[in-house]
Amino acid sequence: MFRKGLLAFLLILAFVLSGCASPAAQASLPSGLAPDKRVVGYYAQWAAGRGYPVSSIPATKVTHINYAFSNVSVNGECILGDPVADIEQEYTAAESVSGKADSSAGTALRGNFHQLQELKAKYPYLKVLISIGGWSWSENFSKAALTDTSRQAFAKSCIDLYLKQYKGVFDGFDIDWEYPVNGGLTDNGRPEDKHNFTLLLAELRHELDAQGAADGTHYLLTMAAGAGPGMDQHYERDQIAQYLDWINVMTYDLHGTWDKTTNFNAPLYQDTNDPGDSSLNVDAVIQDYLGAGIPANKLVMGVPFYGHVWKSVGYTNDGLYQLSEGPKMGNYELGSLNYTEIVSDYLPTYKRDWNAESQVPYLYNINTAVFVSYDDPDSIAAKAGYAKDKGLAGIMIWELSQGNAYMLDAIQKGFQKGGTPHTAPTRDPNAVIIPRPFSAQFHSVSGITVDGKLDDWTGDPTFTLNDKTHLAYSLSSGSWAGPKDLSGQIWAGWTPDGLYFAVKVVDDVHVQTSADANIWHGDYVEFQFDTQLEKDRDKKSMNGDDYQIGVSAGDFASVPPFAYAWFNGPDAAGPITIQQAQTKTPDGYILEVFFPIAVLKGITLNEGAIFGMNVSLSDADDPNTGQKAMLSTSPTRTYADPTTFGAITLVK
């Protein structure tokens, strides 16, 4: 009892002494920094190799640095991401923070770790966290989080490596798992990741508190969180905040060159003319996190110090919301430009526009047909002002080497001034905000056997998809060559136990190589459902009553049929159990499906019930190229906007 009580006292004492200090730490902040706001800058381990060593960081303009990244081993433990950059690179006197060259002695600490240590010594208020994972190195998180034993091993390995072996460099951990359940460069997720992530954070918090008690400090624990629709598929957001000092919300890459149509990387608000998903703007993301129960003072809002660049863009609207031929190469990455690169290579010869609603700039050059979406000091100040007005904990930056001092100064300007007033459109609470793209009736059925045949179905199909008015997506202008390339007939019916569909697909080349979340790289049929329809019309992004389900017939040889829910109502994304049967035909295939009511939680199946739905046919002739065309019952269909779904009424 005495030992337990002593440990508890030490933990509480450590928290009181250091955890309740002002955001940066106990040491005095520079006069130019807002005392109640964090400025968290990611610094990438490869930045020095691009001419931006640690000594280039304007440390008087940030409160915290997240060093990116630590890797996670196949055994689920923390390991160095790049040992050469981290601990081996010898800095010259001209490159180093202290003005002294790194020691070549075998035991001496070198590399970025030593430079960060020197930076902290020079600026005692500065805190440095090791960011673990990232998009490229998240594949082993699921294994690390799987069991009590694996979670303990992960936490111990991270503490042993970063707080003991390299003691004095880091003040905590930033967990950048992109993302629990699915995502990342290599997707090794599983449905139980959602809960296991909460348990992993709890274990890390417990072990960090114990180590902090021993070291007389409070070690920080933060995370990088995704932005956009469906975040409740990845996180137990009502649980995780209790273990975290704050959450860095990645409110950027809301649009990019993976979209063929140009749009804004990080719009603060949605522009009225934006044809995209209404959830893909900074304000919608922050409101979503606040609505999920995350306290405002635990949210740090991300801003990009980079932009996205498209090529072969039409001149209408100075290139905004126009089709492109894809990404243009930047100095370092395809489709991405550092802000410093934009300033030197694009601003002098491009027309700069400002979107007053979205509060971001954009560039276009009619001679090169190149469009750039980016942030600059004006938009950064507007976002920092928004963070101040909403009572958020501060601003996070990806990534410091991509920007300059003017961008950092704009953050403090926004903290001081506040944001630009924004008035949301007033709406009649009884009005239908977005007219439905179509409406249809499903008749009750009986005697349907799911056998991949059409024998049980009578009458005309409920939907026919066979012309360009049904084209919801096309990789290029010639990607859909007509009904012989891709078309379909769809019969639909209902019983109190579930929904039946028969889909006769014409497809000149049938391709499917996956029986997992990647079925969208091949041919499949997509079903989208919104069980609430107009009852939650103001939540235009996918949420806990919405579904996006792909059903694949396989390849009729080695790849089996498969069904996967990318949005799965209140449940995590993952494979789902339905009845399905498929038959190969001379010009395509027949797919028959039964969705039991247990799969579509929240749906009502009785006469007169109304819900939202789309059915779409996706075509891929080459698995290496992926999706080339999609025909849909809704030509405005997007993957994550239920207002593009049609209205279905159930009748006898």
How many CB atoms are closer than 10 A to CB 321? 17
CB 527 within 8 A of CB 549: yes
CA distance 84 to 86: 6
Are the CB atoms for 205 and 243 separated by under 8 Å? yes
- Local structure of 156: helix, strand or coil: helix
Compute the distance between CA of residue 78 and CA of residue 543 in angstroms, rounded to an integer: 33
Residue 633 backbone zone (phi > 0: left; psi -120 to 50: alpha; other: beta): alpha
Taking each helix axis as running N to C, give the angle between helix 193-215 and helix 2-14, from 0 to 180 degrees, rounded to the nearest 10. 90
- Spot the catalytic one: 77, 118, 139, 178: 178
Strands 220-225 and 172-176: parallel
3-state SS class at 261: strand
Which amino acid is located at 570 in the chain?
Answer: P
Q: Interior CA angle at 158 toward 157 and 159, to 5°?
A: 95
Q: Is residue 495 exposed (0-12), middle (13-18) or buried (19+ Cβ within 10 Å)?
A: middle
Residue 486, both tokens: 């891709």
Q: How far apart are CA 251 and CA 290, in angstroms?
A: 14
* β-strands 574-575, 588-596 pairing: unpaired
Please name which of 242, 351, 230 lies closest in space to residue 285, comparing C-alpha atoms: 230
- What is the total residue count of the chain? 652
Contact indicator for 374, 337 with CB cutoff of 8 Å? yes
User: Residue 269 region, left (φ>0) first, then alpha (ψ -120 to 50), else beta?
Assistant: beta
Report helix, strand or coil for 130.
Answer: strand
Which amino acid belongs to residue 84? V
- 139 in catalytic set: no
69 preceded by a cis bond (ω within 30 of 0):
yes
- How far apart CA 104 and CA 626 sit, in angstroms, is 50
Supply the residues annotated as catalytic. Answer: 178
